[in-house]
Amino acid sequence: MAGWVYAYIFKALSGSLLTGDAKVSEQIFSDFISGLWAPLIWQWIVLLVTGTVILAGVQNGIERMTKTLLPILFGLLIVCVVRALTLPGAEAGLAFLFRPDFSKITGATVLTAMGLAFFKLSVGMGAMTTYGSYIGREESLLGTGVKVVLADTLVSLLAGMAVFPAVFAFGFSPDKGPSLLFITIPMVFNAMPWGNIFLAVFFVLASIAATGAMISLFNVPVAYLTEERGWSRAAATLATALAMALAGSTATLSNSLLADFKLFGLTMFDLFAFATDNLLMPLTGVALAVFAGWWLGRWEVTDELSNGGSLNNKGAARCYLLAVKYVAPVAIIIVLLNGLGLI
């Protein structure tokens, strides 16, 4: 989907997305994803951008890119939020976003939310483990973890405030998934002055978020190949890019060349989404919790969390161990089994 977002920046700037007709908007999206070469080329462009950042290294690549992109992300996000909240009827979108409806909470709902949380926080895919290895002994792991959660929550809330008030202000349906991002959102911006400009800004914002996620994912195998297998960074980056291009092409072509190829009744795109969000990341999360809580041992975990005893956070460390040993594995397994209809 990162390639789709990149492509839509240029579609927005060209004005080809500005339509108030849902069928036209849907047809534009359908024509694009069902193409053979355009989706593949945009996927390769994303991999090229990501690979270039990774090739530059942790400090000159990942850190520099993050420090550059994050302020831009927040700035663009604030612009979109302000514009959305000043639209007539935006209150309905805020009510949809913040007014709780507990009748909607089911095992499947919690599983979906957990999968989203795992993905957004890069939990269960090795990214946080890899990034954690770069943290110096003088920094607090617990403090850094809290900052990550708070920052992620803030960005999520701002993103919701940028989208749903505008969607409701113009009477559109808050459809989920690609329909909301690639079909409904262009129609929303079409209904406001300077719509093509704000739509391009929105997709630039989405591309920044997508690039950050791709860098996190890309860096995991590269770190393993360079640090554990002794590969050069260039070789590891190239091998990872080729592997991701090969695997990703099956998902990209699931709307065109591989549209009729299905496993377990799912296209490759849907199969990857289901397997990662609903199975692999939760199961890996359980494995990480068991490893950190039971395999490492109390002394090793406490030593890491307290920076060798230099931080006075024994109480927080005990709470962490309790959560990671007992609460997290059991809760994840229960939600996983309930969401899959097994209990």
Cα 328 to chain centroid distance, Å, stands at 21
Write down how long the chain is: 343
**Looking at residue 175, what is its pLDDT?**
67
Q: How far is 81 from 183, CA to CA, in rounded Å?
A: 20
The predicted-structure confidence for 51-75, as pLDDT tens digits, reads as follows 998 988 766 767 777 777 778 878 8
Neighbours of 207 (CB within 10 A): 22
Provide CB contacts within 8 A for 242, sequence distance 6+.
none
Neighbours of 208 (CB within 10 A): 20
State mean pLDDT over 315-334: 87
Q: How far is 190 from 330, CA to CA, in rounded Å?
A: 47
State mean pLDDT over 6-24: 85
Question: CA 104, 343, 116, 297: dihedral to nearest 10 degrees?
Answer: 130
Contact 245, 44 (CB under 8 A): yes
* pLDDT band, very low/low/confident/very high, at 147 (cuts 50, 70, 90): confident
Contact 90, 165 (CB under 8 A): yes
If you write DSSP's letter for every residue of 34-90 in order, what string do you get? Answer: T-SHHHHHHHHHHHHHHHHHHHT-IIIIIIHHHHHHHHHHHHHHHHHHHHHHTSTTH
State mean pLDDT over 196-214: 84
Provide CB contacts within 8 A for 199, sequence distance 6+.
12, 17, 18, 185, 186, 189, 190
Q: How far is 207 from 19, CA to CA, in rounded Å?
A: 22
